[in-house]
Structure 1
Amino acid sequence: MTKMNIISWNVNGIRAVQKKGFVEWLQKEQPDILCVQETKAQKQQLKDELINIDGYNSYFSSAERKGYSGVAIYSKNEPESIRCGFGIEKFDREGRTLIADYGDFVLFNTYFPNGKASSERLDYKMEFYDAFLEYADTLKGKGRKLIICGDVNTAHREIDLARPKENEKVSGFLPEEREWIDKLLSHGYVDTFRHFNKEPEQYTWWSMRTRARERNVGWRIDYFYASENAMGNITDSYIMPDVTGSDHCPIGLELDI
């Protein structure tokens, strides 16, 4: 058995977080794999120190629109294969998904859409959710072990946000969004954090407008999900609230391979 550590972090702009010590943090933390969401950059816009980090291979999926969306993976070991998106153009052009096949498991790094801007974006989010699940189920149906991480942009249950009653009609806690997570779990996936930790007041995102982080008025919208057949490999799942630099904090997963 080999111990592995995967970290996932919505950095809210990789060039912004670079100025706050991102590369130094990564080199100190030394995860086997780091999944980054909301890079807000195309690869050609990045300085070399963000592409060639000592000890890591780097992979990027960028939105066609500059300064928007985007995900990246930094990995000590090269995956057997890596692909961008599900093969559905209207989703793939926003650069929201990297799928890395490590042989023992398939890793999805996904920045799920936010539905707050308009009813059209909420519809897009729900369609993305369904396309994602269909693609993941196809791989799981072939017996593959799946690890899914990223910013899902929805808090699942009342325990997962500080102000559930006030947010019942806000995208991110709408019944249909929460029901989709119910559906995901019913398809044989596990919310790994809740598997290990049932405590309240555990959040991954705080609004920057209201000093919410200081008061821990937050939402848990970043997740590591795993297919049930992978749970025997997973030894811990945790949140890293003390890491600053973004309005999200990183989350981590430990596994034996």
Structure 2
Amino acid sequence: MLKLVSWNVNGLRAVMKKNFMDVIAELDADFFCLQETKLQAGQIEMDLPNYYEYWNYAEKKGYSGTAIFAKKEAMNVRYGIGIDHHDLEGRVITLEYPEFYLVDCYTPNSQNELKRLDYRMTWEDDFRNYLVNLNKTKPVILCGDLNVAHENIDLKNWKTNHKNAGFTNEERGKFTELLNAGFIDSFRYFYPDLTGVYSWWSYRFNARKNNAGWRIDYFVVSTDLKDKMADAKIHTEIFGSDHCPVELDLNF
């Protein structure tokens, strides 16, 4: 069994002061994929003797950033998607293994008043092309904070959020395009109708206490891996960030 966990930690230094190392030990995953680490090189030292560490940093300090901790060393590593104007924010890490590519992604947020929606649409097309090209070589496991709730059941208050960042028709449509390009939303594969299970809650309005959340953290896998999938989980019991970890278990 291969166990993969993805977590938007919303600042790794902050969550290190809470429970991060306990979560690492408790979940004991083969891969930990992080988003929004908000670090520059050399700003943190991790004591993870069982893991190889892969880091991608944004040029802007205290912003974005991704990391993967892997029990097995990758054959190849790629930072970014090979397009300069997308690769300044430390948003993507790709590890290659004999059986698959693992892609950790922190998708750009469309922001208040959808200031970045046009950029987001360009990103979506370029990133999907990147994944489709990888998928021609071997299956892909994509995880991360993809900053979109795909369907109405993926957020509590869908009617009032219809045109807000993360739930616009444009963003949802791009996620549909990704799935149609040969990929599966692993959680919905196992739990197609399950409601009330989310991975992100605003820090405002007691959102987590009231479970007024959004499911925006995903494991999306190539259809070629469908028969390898064992389970998908959302660890709503784990605190420390405004997101909780999500998990995918594969039979390899």
Q: 1:44 to 1:94 in 2, by over 3 A?
A: same
Equivalent in 177, 180, 183 of residue 174 of structure 2: 180
Partner of 2:200: 205
Cα deviation for residue 139 of structure 1 reads: 1.4
Equivalent in 7, 18, 33 of residue 9 of structure 1: 7
C-alpha offsets along residues 52-90 of structure 1, whole Å, 9 cap, x if unaligned? 412111110000000000000011111111110111111
1:35-114 map, 5 Å: 35-46=33-44, 48=45, 50=46, 52-114=47-109
Cα deviation for residue 120 of structure 1 reads: 4.3
CA contact (8 A) 2:101 2:139 kept: yes
Cα deviation for residue 141 of structure 1 reads: 2.1
Partner of 2:140: 146
Cα deviation for residue 43 of structure 1 reads: 2.3
Partner of 1:220: 215
* Cα separation, 1, equivalents of 2:234 and 2:114: 31
TM-score w.r.t. the length of structure 1 is: 0.95
Cα deviation for residue 119 of structure 1 reads: 4.2
Stretches of structure 2 that go unaligned for 5 or more consecutive residues are none
1:251 matched to 2:246? The reply is yes
Judging by fraction of residues, say which structure has more helix: 1
State the secondary structure of the residue aligned to 2:122. Answer: helix
Counterpart AA for 2:3:
N
Partner of 2:237: 242
* Cα separation, 1, equivalents of 2:118 and 2:43: 31
Equivalent in 119, 122, 127 of residue 117 of structure 2: 122
State the secondary structure of the residue aligned to 1:212. Answer: coil
C-alpha offsets along residues 127-157 of structure 1, whole Å, 9 cap, x if unaligned? 1111110011111123x11100000101000
Stretches of structure 1 that go unaligned for 5 or more consecutive residues are none
- The number of aligned residues is 251
Partner of 2:32: 34
Partner of 2:227: 232
* Cα separation, 2, equivalents of 1:126 and 1:134: 13
Cα deviation for residue 21 of structure 1 reads: 1.9
* Cα separation, 2, equivalents of 1:77 and 1:27: 17
- Same amino acid, percent of matched pairs: 43
Counterpart AA for 2:184:
V
Equivalent in 13, 16, 19 of residue 17 of structure 2: 19
Q: What is the aligned-residue RMSD (CA, Å)?
A: 1.0
Counterpart AA for 1:30:
D
CA contact (8 A) 2:114 2:164 kept: no
TM-score w.r.t. the length of structure 2 is: 0.97
